Structure 1
Amino acid sequence: MKEPSIEVGLVLDAEGTTVKLEGDFVDAEGKVIGAGEHRVLPAGETIRYGGTQTKKLCWSPTRLDNCRFSLETTIGVQFHWQQQEVQTFAGAIRFVAAGNRLTVINLVPLETYLTSVICSEMSATSPADLVKAHSVVSRSWLLAQCAARMCGNKDTNVPAPEGEELIRWYDREGHVSFDVCADDHCQRYHGTGRIRTGTAFDAIGVTRGQVLSYDGEVCDARYAKACGGVTEDFRTAWSDEEVPYLVPFVDGPDPAMPDPPITGEMAFRQFLAARPDAYCNCRDDAILDEVLTSFDRQTDDFFRWQVRLGADAVTALVQSKLGLDLGRVIALQPVERGLSGRLVRLRIVGERGSRIIGKELEIRRALSPSHLYSSAFAVDCEGPVERPDVFVLNGAGWGHGVGLCQIGAAVMAARGIGYQEILRHYYPGTTLERVYE
Structure 2
Amino acid sequence: MKEPKVHVGILFEPQIEFILLTPYRINGMEISGKQVVTYNEGKILWNGRLYDELLFEPMNEVTDAFELLDVTIGINFHWERKEDQRFLGALKIIVEDNKLTGINVIHVEDYLTSVISSEMSATASLELLKAHAVISRSWLLANMQTNQCPHSTVGANNHSPANTAEFIKWYERDAHTRFDVCADDHCQRYQGITRASTEIVKQAIAATRGQLLMSDGKICDARFSKCCGGAFEEFQYCWEDVKYPYLTKQRDWVASSSSPVADLTQEPEAVRWIRTSPEAFCNTTDKKVLSQVLNNYDQETTDFYRWKVEYSQDELSALILKRSGVDYGQIIDLIPVARGTSGRLWKLKIVGTKKTLIIGKELEIRRTLSTSHLYSSAFVVDKEGISPEGIPERFILTGAGWGHGVGLCQIGAAVMGEQGYKYDAILLHYYIGASIDKLYE
Query: Is TM > 0.5 for Structure 1 vs Structure 2?
Result: yes
Give the Å deviation of 1:366. Answer: 2.5
Provide the residue aligned with 1:173 in structure 2: 174
Q: Summarize the alignment of residues 7-406 of structure 1 with structure 2, pairs less than 5 Å apart.
A: 7-11=7-11, 19=17, 21=19, 23-24=21-22, 26=24, 28-29=26-27, 34-35=32-33, 45-46=42-43, 55-64=52-61, 65-70=63-68, 71-75=70-74, 83-84=80-81, 86=83, 87-100=85-98, 103-149=101-147, 155-163=150-158, 164-253=165-254, 259-298=261-300, 300-384=302-386, 386-406=390-410
Deviates more, 1:90-99 or 1:373-382: 90-99
Give the Å deviation of 1:377. Answer: 2.0
The 3-state SS of whatever aligns with 1:365 is helix
Number of residue equivalences: 429
Give the Å deviation of 1:108. Answer: 1.8
Give the Å deviation of 1:148. Answer: 2.0
The answer to whether the 8 A contact 2:13-2:101 is kept is: no
Q: Which amino acid aligns with 2:350?
A: I
Encode CA deviations 1:204-261: one digit per residue, 9 max, x unaligned.
1011001121112221221112111111111111111210000121112566998242
Q: Quick one: distance in 2 between partners of 1:402 and 1:346?
A: 19
Q: Quick one: distance in 1 between partners of 2:112 and 2:391?
A: 51
Q: Quick one: distance in 2 between partners of 1:181 and 1:93?
A: 14
Q: Quick one: distance in 1 between partners of 2:82 and 2:397?
A: 32
The 3-state SS of whatever aligns with 2:170 is coil
The answer to whether the 8 A contact 1:377-1:396 is kept is: yes
Give the Å deviation of 1:307. Answer: 3.1
Deviates more, 1:176-185 or 1:94-103: 94-103
Change (3 A) 1:291 1:366: closer
Give the Å deviation of 1:281. Answer: 1.7
The 3-state SS of whatever aligns with 1:348 is strand
The answer to whether the 8 A contact 1:257-1:276 is kept is: no
The structure with the larger Rg is 2
Percent of aligned positions that are identical: 44
Encode CA deviations 1:292-344: one digit per residue, 9 max, x unaligned.
44454455333223333454554455445444343444432221110101111
Q: Quick one: distance in 1 between partners of 2:66 and 2:95?
A: 22
Provide the residue aligned with 1:424 in structure 2: 428
Give the Å deviation of 1:417. Answer: 0.7
Give the Å deviation of 1:8. Answer: 2.3
Deviates more, 1:425-434 or 1:44-53: 44-53
Q: Which amino acid aligns with 1:157?
A: S
Change (3 A) 1:15 1:344: same
Q: Quick one: distance in 1 between partners of 2:309 and 2:14?
A: 37
Q: Which amino acid aligns with 1:228?
A: G
Deviates more, 1:277-286 or 1:63-72: 63-72
The 3-state SS of whatever aligns with 1:176 is coil
Q: Quick one: distance in 2 between partners of 1:170 and 1:375?
A: 15
Deviates more, 1:407-416 or 1:49-58: 49-58
Q: Which amino acid aligns with 2:10?
A: L
Q: Quick one: distance in 1 between partners of 2:17 and 2:377?
A: 39
Q: Which amino acid aligns with 1:427?
A: Y
The answer to whether the 8 A contact 2:293-2:410 is kept is: no
Change (3 A) 1:46 1:327: farther
The 3-state SS of whatever aligns with 1:159 is strand
Encode CA deviations 1:262-308: one digit per residue, 9 max, x unaligned.
12344323322322221112211122224444454455333223333
Change (3 A) 1:51 1:422: same
The answer to whether the 8 A contact 2:153-2:172 is kept is: no
The answer to whether the 8 A contact 2:113-2:197 is kept is: no
The answer to whether the 8 A contact 2:291-2:299 is kept is: yes
Q: Quick one: distance in 1 between partners of 2:30 and 2:333?
A: 63
TM-score, structure 1 length as denominator?
0.85
Deviates more, 1:101-110 or 1:342-351: 101-110
Give the Å deviation of 1:103. Answer: 4.4
Provide the residue aligned with 2:161 in structure 1: none
TM-score, structure 2 length as denominator?
0.84
Q: Quick one: distance in 1 between partners of 2:319 and 2:65?
A: 45
Change (3 A) 1:58 1:165: farther
Give the Å deviation of 1:409. Answer: 0.8
The answer to whether the 8 A contact 1:248-1:339 is kept is: yes
Change (3 A) 1:66 1:357: same
Change (3 A) 1:407 1:97: same
Q: Which amino acid aligns with 1:421?
A: A
Change (3 A) 1:415 1:329: same
Change (3 A) 1:205 1:167: same
User: Gaps spanning 5+ residues in structure 1: where?
Assistant: none
What RMSD in Å do the two structures reach over aligned CA positions? 3.2
